[in-house]
Amino acid sequence: MKRLTVAIDGPAGAGKSSVAKLVANRLHYLYIDTGAMYRAFTWAMLKNHIDLADTEAVQSLTDTIQIRLEPAAEYCRVYVGDTEVTEDIRTADVSSHVSPVAALAVVRTKLVKLQRDMAASGGVILDGRDIGTVVLPDADLKIFLTASVEARARRRYLELQAKGSTDTLEAIAASIAARDDMDSHRAVSPLKQAEDAILVDNSQLDLQETADLICRIIEEKQ
């Protein structure tokens, strides 16, 4: 049975990463955590004391860095060269630097190439906002996972309430709607459904039900 390359795109709050990890575990696929890859590159920048403005040093790191992912029970294990950095890339220091690093064109070009190389043999799942349109336009299966603003806001509201947040449901919904508009109209790789993607609306589904549905779609495609 052929193992597929699966691209899952969709707006913020649709549960893409959680579903992708769950489906990958069920089907014994590799979940390619693209965010972790950008964090790994950022970790290497900090480890080597490379400044964002030092284009020569950034280019040199881009030319030589080796980032590898291995499947694990919950998250993939992340390596830079032979060094495991799975925990190190989740520090506050890395988190505070990852956005400007990820915005560098040379870094994005490098990591997109690595993601395509990892996906070449199949049996992988990637999620994001431009996987099916930019990163893997020839993916075997593309899914656009979405939910209504109201459903996504309600989920986020319950998550934040559990953490003691006082944010209102209305404020969260407004923030999500604004994020949707920004992501859909950004100049580089805007959020949009690929023409050949299957639309999955999980407004009325929980995480397990969404994973069940996507697993069925993948198995039918296989």
Q: Clarify whether residues 221 and 129 are in a common domain.
A: yes
Instruction: Give the least confident one: 40-44, 50-54, 84-88, 125-129.
Output: 125-129
Is residue 153 within 8 A of residue 169, CB to CB? The reply is yes
Q: pTM of the predicted model, to two decimals?
A: 0.81
pLDDT in tens, 62-115: 999 999 998 776 678 999 999 999 999 988 889 889 888 888 889 989 999 999
The structure tokens listed for 118 are 């990892």
Q: Clarify whether residues 130 and 220 are in a common domain.
A: yes
Q: Clarify whether residues 134 and 25 are in a common domain.
A: yes
CATH code for position 111 = 3.40.50.300
Q: Clarify whether residues 100 and 157 are in a common domain.
A: no
Q: Clarify whether residues 205 and 128 are in a common domain.
A: yes
Report CA torsion sign: 193, 196, 197, 201: positive
Note the pLDDT of residue 159: 87
User: Could you give the CA distance from residue 210 to residue 200 in angstroms, rounded to a whole number?
Assistant: 8
Identify the top-confidence range among 44-48, 68-72, 164-168, 185-189: 44-48
Q: Clarify whether residues 35 and 74 are in a common domain.
A: yes
Which position has the higher pLDDT, 75 or 205?
205
Number of domains composing the chain: 2
3-state secondary structure of 175: helix
Q: Clarify whether residues 15 and 56 are in a common domain.
A: no
Q: What are the binding residues for ATP?
A: 10-18
End residue of a domain, out of 68, 91, 121: 121
End residue of a domain, out of 121, 146, 166: 121
Q: Clarify whether residues 52 and 117 are in a common domain.
A: yes
- CA angle at 211 for the pair 121 and 148, rounded to the nearest 5°: 115
pLDDT in tens, 121-152: 899 999 988 899 999 999 999 999 999 999 99
End residue of a domain, out of 63, 94, 121: 121
pLDDT band for position 188 (cuts 50, 70, 90) = low
Residue 12 belongs to domain spanning: 1-29+123-222
Q: Clarify whether residues 12 and 78 are in a common domain.
A: no
Note the pLDDT of residue 105: 87
Q: Clarify whether residues 92 and 199 are in a common domain.
A: no
User: Could you give the CA distance from residue 118 to residue 126 in angstroms, rounded to a whole number?
Assistant: 10
Q: Clarify whether residues 88 and 144 are in a common domain.
A: no
Note the pLDDT of residue 160: 86
End-to-end CA distance of the chain: 6
Q: What are the binding residues?
A: 10-18
3-state secondary structure of 129: coil
The DSSP H or E segment spanning 80 is strand 77-80
Q: Clarify whether residues 24 and 37 are in a common domain.
A: no
Instruction: Give the least confident one: 36-45, 102-111, 141-150, 193-202.
Output: 102-111
Is the pLDDT reported for residue 18 higher than 70? yes
Question: Per residue in 113-149, is it b (16+ CB within 10 Å) or e — as a string?
Answer: ebbeebbeeebbbbbbbbbbbbbbeebbbbbbbbbeb
